[in-house]
Structure 1
Amino acid sequence: MMLRHTNNNSNIFDHPSYLSSAVNPFAGQNIGYLRLAVVGDSGVGKTSFARQFTETLPEVLSHDWDPQDETDDDYPRTDALVEKFSSTMMEIPWDNMDADDEVPARNLVFVDTPGYGSVVDAQVNFDLFMSYVGQTFEEKNKRISPFTEVSNNELMRSLVTGVGAHKFIDVCFYLIVHRLKPIDVEYMRLVSEKANVVPIICKVDTQSEQEVIDLKVHVLKTLREQGVSIYTFRIDYDRLINMAETGQSGGPPFAVSNADTKPASEDKDDHISFTPAQNELPLLRRLVLETQITNIRQFTVKKFINWRGKHLAQQQHQQPQPQPYYQQQPQQAMQHQYQQVTR
């Protein structure tokens, strides 16, 4: 599995939010350790979305993202899984207990993934990401003693925490542009077994408000009909569809613009012929990082517990069972009879 780690942190003291009185000094601590991922087709703006989500977050003190060339609107194509680390808090360096100073915690992780359209067989990139997610489950399961019976409640209490008790993907943002394709539905179905899927309609600055409303309704109705489980932020499908039809914000799929807001131009040729949809990125971040973060962690651990239950049942099924007496080999049966007679 191809996986790249980046470790070129920008200086924490150079970040304007570090000394800003407008930033709640405890907000970053409240986020704790969280792992996010972004998936979808090639060219939909996954890297751009991940950068916007973290770089413009006031609580971020330092991050791994390379400096962006403002003259270049294109990002290099992601051809492997890439983990990008950001820090919203400071912590003691546990690997060096003699150190006096705290260091950036690198607690907010964004996994950028290659688009399924970048290869001939989309299943290759599906398997790449699902192998990564599955490995986090397997690694945690190995750390749970097989000789001690652990209840689901005990697992929930120990794993639903923001102190880095696991490396599961807490939220997987699935990006869609202009239309929902059958392959998107199946990919979301696959990912939803092990991560909280949140559909995102991106590049809404290129779509009218009505187009985004229609696409939201179509996405929700299709996913409900196909039985695909997404993270609904504790809102049922019927209400989500009603919210989408009436243009209300607050639930998936979220509309996100990949372009920075530009000042109004007096040139008539620069004006677009439609009203673009509202950018819901600030709302999305508030829901994920503040109001719904505990519930998200609970659903993440619940997926692990469900996987672990199936995994243990499969292991027990594969273990050889002792054969009944009448199915034993003749020699074994005769030996058993001889032992009975001689006792």
Structure 2
Amino acid sequence: MATPHYLLANPFAGQNIGHLRLAVVGDSGVGKTSFARQFVETLPEVLSHDWNTTIKQSGGDDDDDDDDDDDYTRTDALTEKFASTMMEIPWDNMDADDEVPARNLVFLDTPGYGSVIDARTNFNLFMDYVRQTFEEKNRRISPFTEVSNNELMRSLVTDVEYMRLISEKANVIPIIAKVDTQSDREVQELKVHVLKSLKEQGVSIYTFRIDYDRLIQMAEKGLPGGPPFAVSNVPPKPVSSDPQDHISFKHAANELPMLRKLVLEQQITNIRQFTVKKFINWRGKQQPQQQQQQQQQQQQQQQQHQQQPFYQQQQFQHQFPKHR
């Protein structure tokens, strides 16, 4: 558990974030867990979180989503990690004087689909989680009706299909991870490739109100401000005065601060509105299915009812034969 630090430059900034749920999905070993941890640990508004503290070893890279590391720990199940950017009175003790961390920021760490033979296994695992989240929300809205913030990924061929599957229920924000190992030119070319692939495949992502053509133009010119965002999972290192520590390779700029500002501050209202629309669309599709199921049940009951009198009559005559 991180040590709480309650003194903030802007005490209201954390409250403005509100309650938000983010999922990090993608292939195995691309740095999903490390990215989520860096996102939280470097967010000034975070008062406390339940991520394990990052411990850097000399000569080693602490990225628990990197298969090349000796300390790599594979994520085999969906895991919720909580962070708090505001305090609140406990719901089960409203008379309490002391406030507790609200645990309002939820990160869902997911297993990479490269860890299984059939990638659909982990696809379905995540989709079931989203469906259960929708069903739980729907029960709170309509407790008497049995009707059934924000995905971040690295684009590969399988990722495109993954994004297509979840885009109906979640806002998809593609990212390019581990840019500390890539040059500006490499990241720029990858951004263009990702955007063109998504557009050609008709995959819907959250574009931050920028159309695909404009995003592609921005990527071709190397302009920041839209997806896919290039992020680094490595904490910033202090500047060394030793000339031998400086190398000629210049890695791509880290857009994590920009992504965080867009998601948690500038676009958070729009993201929530888009999520509500997706939920309403999903709910609207569930109602016809339920009506169809109810009609089928009614038809089955009617068929059973039509057959029942004849059966009962035969049974009655067998047990109690008529006497002349």
Q: Structure 1: which amino acid aligns with 2:86? A: M
Matched, 1:40 2:26: yes
Task: Give the Cα separation in 1 of the matches to 2:253 and 2:83.
Answer: 27
Q: Is the contact made by 2:63 and 2:233 (CA closer than 8 Å) also made in structure 1?
A: no
Q: CA RMSD in A?
A: 2.2
Q: 1:173 aligns with which of 142, 147, 152?
A: 152
Change (3 A) 1:330 1:173: closer
Contact 2:2 2:49 in 1 (8 A): yes
Give the letter for the 2:76 counterpart: D
Report Cα offsets for 1:120-161 as digits up to 9, x if no partner. 11111111111111101112222333779xxxxxxxxxxxxx
Q: Residues 148-203 of structure 1: CA distance to partner in whole angstroms, max 9, x if unpaired? A: 9xxxxxxxxxxxxxxxxxxxxx11111x2xxx432111011111111101000011
- Counterpart secondary structure, 2:117: coil
Q: Offset of 1:261 from its aligned partner?
A: 2.8
- Asked if 1:214 is matched to 2:194, the reply is no
Write out the 4+ residue segments of structure 1 that deviate beyond 6 Å after TM superposition.
327-332
Letter in 1 for 2:234: A
Deviations, residues 302-338 of structure 1 (Å, cap 9, x unaligned):
1111000000111112222777xxx997999xxxxxx
1:330–1:56 distance in 2 versus 1, CA, 3 Å = closer
Stretches of structure 1 lacking an aligned partner (at least 5 in a row)? 1-8, 149-169, 333-343
The residue identity in structure 1 corresponding to 2:50 is D
Of 71, 76, 81, the match for 2:78: 81
CA deviations 1:3-37 (Å, max 9, x no partner) are xxxxxx4342xx2xx224xx210000000110111
- Determine the C-alpha separation between the residues in 1 that align with 2:308 and 2:114: 61
TM-score, L = length of structure 1: 0.79
CA contact (8 A) 2:192 2:219 kept: yes
State the partner residue of 2:131: 134
Deviation readout 1:80-110 (Å, 9 max, x if unpaired) = 1111111100111111122111111010111
Identity of aligned residues (%): 75
Secondary structure of 1:25's counterpart equals coil
CA 1:283–1:11 in 2, change beyond 3 Å: closer, same or farther? same
Task: State which of 273, 276, 280 in structure 2 corresponds to 1:305.
Answer: 280
2:114 is matched by which residue type in structure 1? G
Bigger Cα displacement from structure 2, 66-75 vs 303-312: 66-75
Provide, for residues 284-316 of structure 1, a one-character-per-residue CA deviation record: whole Å limited to 9, x for no partner. Answer: 000000000000000111111100000011111
- Report the TM-score, using the length of structure 2 for normalisation: 0.84
Query: Aligned residue for 2:92?
Result: 95
Residue-pair matches, total: 289
**Is 1:56 matched up with 2:42?**
yes
Q: CA deviation at 1:54?
A: 0.8
Give the greater-gyration-radius structure (CA): 2
Provide the secondary structure at the position in 2 that maps to 1:257.
Answer: coil
